[in-house]
Amino acid sequence: MDDPLKVTKSVPVADVYVPVKRKKTLEPDKVDAIAESMLEEGQKNPIQVRQGNGRLVLVEGLHRLEACRALGEDTIEAIFVQAKRF
C-alpha cells in the first residue's frame, strides 16, 4: 500500500512560493547542472511543498524548482508535507 504522505502530485511551477531566506541559498551553477540532468533523465526527485496562507510554499528543492523554471517547464512533481515555517 502506498504511503499517502509520499504521493507525488504535479503542481504549476508558477504557483510555488519561495521564501526570501530560501532564495538566498540559490547556487546558479547547481541550477544549470540539475537542468542538464533533467533534460537527459527527467525529474528524478520531487520537491517538497506545504500549504501556507492559501499558497504552496517551498520546503525542499529550490534548485530543482529553479531548473524547471529555466527549462520553461509549466509543472513540477511535488510531495505535500507538513512543515514549520523557516
Instruction: Give the three-class secondary structure for 35.
Output: helix
Does residue 85 form part of some domain? no
pLDDT at 75: 98
Which residue range is the domain that position 56 belongs to? 4-80
Neighbours of 64 (CB within 10 A): 24
Q: How far apart are CA 54 and CA 30, in angstroms?
A: 30
Instruction: From first to last of the 86 residues of the chain, give the pLDDT tens digit.
Output: 455 557 899 999 999 999 999 888 999 999 999 999 999 999 999 999 999 888 999 999 999 999 999 999 999 999 999 866 55
> Would you state the pLDDT for residue 1?
43
Q: Determine the pLDDT at residue 5.
A: 58
CATH of the domain at 33: 3.90.1530.10
**pLDDT at residue 84, rounded to an integer:** 63
